[in-house]
């Protein structure tokens, strides 16, 4: 049987489809999503939840003329499928394949690139204001989840949009979930709105029914009305908050009912000014394992479609889980330790901590800025906050790190997870800038472990140092070293000599220490004797060790999984320059000055010549050029 999907070349075709066909198309899209993500991994549950919503949007609006901004963009797969990318969808998140997030370079139907949350309303408002200035007449939509609505920027944008006449439509996709269960007062409000709307519906149905019964009808009707008046103070008007902010509110409506969605979106399209359409969806809709475990299937690795079981590769524990266990062990002895996450309890490993120490844990929603200043407040009052953030999302809280924490030299620990290349999520998620953007801030200590034991020692040290500390570690598994029973404090700003050599010395940090050891093995086969220094600290640098190594080897190769600009290579060169060591040759290896696309981490490292073979090859060329070989 031919699939409707195979005949779909333009989203415009959806407009002429019968409702029956649209429902069939929805079914086919669900199959494609499940089948593809079971191989590639990706954001399955969010996309299963927005199949009908996306089809209804394309039924009512015309892309690329009309602009849709998907918040975070992890739920844009259905949009990609119906805008001419169905045949390439199997390449999702693979190198040179379809990106897991909207990308203006990938399609004219993607009107704005996203990946970090809570930006959609700002971007859509900007587009709507520009449209009006240019005298154009297209529509602008922001599709934002209830989780992303907890981000401060979403409120800033609502506050501004409601004060303009610009016509734009915000679609609030409310599934009561962020990655984990959504948190916060807004989330509570939205739950009440759900209850209020079903209460109103029951009330209306009951009233109509009772009025139809002669004689008894009137009496019963009055009783129901009394009940309603008694209850109404408990209920909120569903759209009150948004109406007060200057939006015209529609909803809440069933986000899986295409007819209703079409009707509401058409109304919203023809209204003036800012409009908010509140839709209720089920995350993971249509695939039982994803409905039942929406958090696990939010962003999932390859899995078995029949059982819903994630394929687990046997491997060493992840750095995240080593961090998680080490933090719990520390908190067992110190109840001043506070764990803080910005809506990522599972991803940062703090979920276990929250279960063990519920009173010492805060999930603040997608609010990295607040998380950091909250930690500053806690630290000022004597607590020992550990803010676990992904490197890429810590960018959000830059001013808070600088102004609220470092300027006051407060002992806040930043557990910077997913530092380095993250792989399939791509440029919006690679954590390759943190050393550069943190290194210039006074007072902060920055370190990165070479393996699991060093991560444990660094966490113990971070809690003990009386300064702000950023401890960066990568996504994925550690090296599989045997975990030591005791973890002692590291001397601040001291590196270690991992391997002695004579021709060239690697100065490396974090993940790259191991790669340099392997590269040194390769070089040894060519009779090149390479030393390996584990710097441990990006700040303060081990001046004594670096100067000594520079004088001894005269040829240095710095290696880091961070941008070359402003990274440890830059730091070492600044130090050599200040020490007057102008004739020491330095090769800097790291992430070049461009955004790195998505793809498996190993492939990306190979492409950038940051795997052992690439490091060895580049080192040989460098030595040749400098007449060492």
Q: Is 53 in the site for ligand TPP (CB under 6 A)?
A: no
Q: In angstroms, rounded to a whole number, what is the distance separating the alpha carbons of residues 187 and 184? A: 5
Tokens 């734009």 sit at which residue?
Answer: 168
> Of 41, 42, 46, 274, which one interacts with ligand TPP (CB under 6 A)?
46
Q: How far apart are CA 615 and CA 512, in angstroms?
A: 10
Applying CB under 6 A, does 439 fall inside the site for ligand TPP?
no
For residue 22, count other CB atoms closer than 10 A to its CB: 21
* Residue of the chain from 42, 113, 147, 286 that contacts ligand TPP (CB under 6 A): 147
Closer residue to ligand TPP (CB): 363 or 452: 363
Pairing of strands 530-534, 496-499: antiparallel
Map residue 385 onto helix, strand or coil: strand
282 touches ligand TPP by CB under 6 A: no
User: Residue 106 CB: number of other CB atoms within 10 A?
Assistant: 16
Give least dist CB 146 to ligand TPP, A. 5
Give the nearest distance from C-beta 256 to ligand TPP in angstroms: 14
Neighbours of 184 (CB within 10 A): 19
With CA atoms as reference, report the closest residue to 165 among 254, 275, 251. 275
CA gap 368, 371 in Å, rounded: 5
DSSP helix/strand/coil, 359 = helix
Q: Which of 36, 111, 117, 570 binds ligand TPP (CB under 6 A)?
A: 117
SS3 content of the chain, % helix, strand, coil (to 5): 45, 15, 40
Strand positions, DSSP E, 324-403: 337-341, 361-363, 384-390
72 part of the interface to ligand TPP, by CB under 6 A = yes
Residue 54 or 139 with smaller CB distance to ligand TPP? 54
246: left (phi over 0), alpha (psi -120 to 50) or beta: left
Count of residues touching ligand TPP (by CB under 6 A): 25
Q: Going by C-beta distance under 8 Å and a sequence separation of 6 or more, which residues neighbour residue 128? A: 140, 166, 167, 168
Nearer Cβ to ligand TPP, position 84 or 152? 152
Q: Which stretch binds ligand TPP (CB under 6 A): 128-136, 193-201, 339-347, 452-460?
A: 339-347
Shorter beta-carbon distance to ligand TPP: residue 49 or 474: 49
Q: Which of 59, 396, 439, 472 is catalytic?
A: 396
Spell out a b/e string for 314-333, using b for 16 or more CB atoms within 10 Å of the CB, else e: eeeebbbebbbbbbbebbee
Of 396 and 499, the one with the shorter C-beta distance to ligand TPP is 396
Q: Between residues 367 and 458, which has the closer beta carbon with respect to ligand TPP?
A: 367
Rounded to the nearest 5 degrees, what angle is found at the Cα of 362, between the Cα atoms of 361 and 366?
A: 145
- The span of 83-91, 171-179, 219-227, 529-537 binding ligand TPP (CB under 6 A) equals 171-179
288 class by beta-carbon count within 10 Å (0-12 exposed, 13-18 middle, 19+ buried)? exposed
Catalytic residue among 368, 424, 560, 561: 368
Supply angle C-alpha 263, 269, 272, rounded to 5. 130
User: For ligand TPP, which residue of 67, 74, 80, 109 counts as binding (CB under 6 A)?
Assistant: 74
The smaller minimum CB distance to ligand TPP, of residues 178 and 320, is found at: 178
Is 283 one of the annotated active-site residues of the chain? Answer: yes
Residue 122 binds to ligand TPP (criterion: CB under 6 A): no
Residue span binding ligand TPP (CB under 6 A) among the ranges 71-79, 224-232, 401-409, 506-514: 71-79
**396 catalytic residue (yes or no):** yes
Q: Is 121 an interacting residue with respect to ligand TPP (CB under 6 A)? A: no
Structure-token match 């601040």, residue found: 492
**Closest CB to ligand TPP among 68 and 72?**
72
CB of 191 to ligand TPP, least distance (A): 13
Q: Is 366 in the site for ligand TPP (CB under 6 A)?
A: yes
Q: Which is nearer to ligand TPP, 396 or 539 (CB)?
A: 396
What is the closest distance, in whole angstroms, from the C-beta atom of residue 212 to ligand TPP in the complex?
A: 41
Under rule CB under 6 A, which residues in 454-513 are in contact with ligand TPP?
A: none
Nearer to ligand TPP, 125 or 556 (CB): 125
Interface with ligand TPP by CB under 6 A: which range of 143-151, 306-314, 601-609, 610-618? 143-151
Token pair in block for residue 172 = 């609030």
Q: How far is the CB of 240 from ligand TPP (least distance, A)?
A: 21
The residue within the footprint of ligand TPP, chosen from 80, 103, 116, 457 (CB under 6 A), is 116
Which string of x and - marks every residue 191-230 that binds ligand TPP (by CB under 6 A)? ----------------------------------------
φ, ψ dihedrals at 416, nearest 5°: -95, 95
First to last CA, the chain: 66
Residue 469 bridge partners (DSSP): 413, 445
Which of 111, 139, 178, 197 contacts ligand TPP by CB under 6 A?
178
296 binds ligand TPP (CB under 6 A): no
Figure out which of the listed residues 58, 278, 283, 475 binds ligand TPP, where binding follows CB under 6 A: 283
Is 145 a binder of ligand TPP (CB under 6 A)?
Answer: yes
Q: Considering only CA atoms, which of 312, 280, 317, 281 is closest in space to residue 296?
A: 312
- Which of 245, 343, 444, 572 touches ligand TPP (CB under 6 A)? 343
Listing DSSP states for 154-176 in one string gives: HHHHHHHHTTS---EEEEEEE-S
In whole angstroms, what is the distance from residue 622 CA to residue 556 CA?
Answer: 10
Q: Which residues are catalytic?
A: 283, 368, 396
Chain residues in the site for ligand TPP (CB under 6 A):
46, 49, 72, 74-75, 116-117, 145-148, 173, 175, 177-179, 283, 298, 342-344, 366, 368, 393, 396
């Amino acid at each position: 049987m031919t699939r409707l999907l195979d005949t779909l070349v333009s989203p415009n075709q959806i407009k002429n489809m019968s409702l029956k066909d649209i429902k069939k198309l929805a079914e086919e899209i669900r199959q494609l999503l499940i089948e593809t993500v079971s191989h590639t991994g990706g954001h399955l549950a969010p996309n299963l939840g927005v199949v009908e919503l996306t089809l209804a949007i394309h039924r009512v609006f015309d892309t690329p003329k009309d602009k849709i901004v998907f918040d975070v963009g992890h739920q844009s797969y259905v949009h990609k499928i119906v805008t001419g990318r169905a045949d390439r969808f199997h390449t999702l998140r693979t190198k040179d394949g379809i990106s897991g997030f909207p990308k203006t370079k990938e399609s004219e139907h993607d009107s704005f690139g996203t990946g970090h949350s809570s930006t959609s309303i700002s971007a859509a408002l900007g587009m709507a204001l520009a449209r009006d200035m240019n005298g154009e007449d297209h529509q602008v939509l922001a599709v934002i989840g209830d989780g992303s609505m907890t981000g401060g920027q979403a409120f800033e944008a609502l506050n501004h949009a409601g004060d303009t006449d610009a016509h734009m439509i915000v679609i609030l996709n409310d599934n009561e979930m962020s990655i984990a269960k959504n948190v916060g007062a807004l989330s509570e409000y939205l739950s009440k709105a759900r209850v209020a709307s079903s209460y109103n519906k029951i009330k209306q149905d009951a009233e109509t029914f009772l009025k139809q019964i002669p004689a008894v009808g009137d009496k019963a009707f009055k009783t129901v009305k009394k009940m309603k008046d008694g209850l109404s103070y408990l209920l909120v008007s569903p759209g009150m908050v948004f109406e007060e902010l200057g939006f015209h509110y529609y909803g809440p409506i069933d986000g899986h009912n295409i007819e209703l969605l079409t009707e509401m979106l058409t109304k919203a399209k023809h209204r003036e000014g800012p409009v908010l359409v509140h839709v209720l969806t089920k995350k993971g809709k249509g695939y039982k394992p994803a409905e039942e475990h929406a958090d696990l299937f939010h962003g999932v690795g390859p899995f078995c479609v029949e059982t819903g079981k994630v394929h687990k590769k046997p491997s060493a524990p992840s750095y995240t889980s080593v961090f998680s266990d080490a933090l719990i062990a520390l908190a067992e002895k110190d109840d001043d330790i506070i764990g803080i996450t910005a809506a990522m309890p599972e991803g940062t490993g703090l979920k276990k901590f929250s279960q063990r120490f519920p009173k010492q844990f805060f999930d603040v929603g997608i609010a990295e800025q607040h998380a950091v200043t909250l930690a500053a407040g806690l630290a000022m009052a004597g607590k020992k906050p550990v803010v676990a953030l992904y490197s890429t999302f810590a960018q959000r809280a830059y001013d808070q790190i600088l102004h609220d924490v470092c300027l006051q030299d407060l002992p806040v620990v930043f557990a910077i997870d997913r530092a380095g290349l993250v792989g399939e999520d791509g440029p919006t998620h690679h954590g390759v800038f943190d050393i550069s953007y943190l290194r210039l801030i006074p007072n902060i200590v920055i370190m990165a472990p070479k393996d699991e034991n060093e991560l444990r020692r660094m966490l113990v040290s971070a809690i003990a140092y009386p300064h702000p500390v950023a401890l960066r570690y990568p996504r994925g598994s550690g090296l599989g070293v045997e975990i030591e029973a005791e973890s002692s404090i590291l001397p601040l700003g001291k590196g270690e000599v991992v391997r002695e050599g004579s021709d060239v010395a690697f100065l490396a940090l974090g993940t790259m220490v191991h790669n340099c050891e392997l590269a040194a093995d390769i070089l040894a086969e060519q009779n090149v004797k390479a030393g390996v220094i584990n710097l441990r600290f990006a700040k303060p640098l081990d001046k004594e060790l670096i100067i000594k190594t520079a004088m001894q080897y005269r040829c240095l190769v710095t290696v880091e999984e961070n941008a070359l600009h402003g990274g440890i290579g830059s730091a070492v060169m600044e130090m050599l320059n200040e020490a007057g060591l102008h004739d020491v040759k330095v090769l800097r290896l790291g992430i070049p000055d461009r955004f790195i696309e998505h793809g498996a981490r190993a492939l990306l490292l190979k492409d950038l010549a940051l795997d052992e073979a690439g490091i060895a090859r580049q080192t040989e060329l460098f030595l040749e050029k400098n007449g060492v070989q």
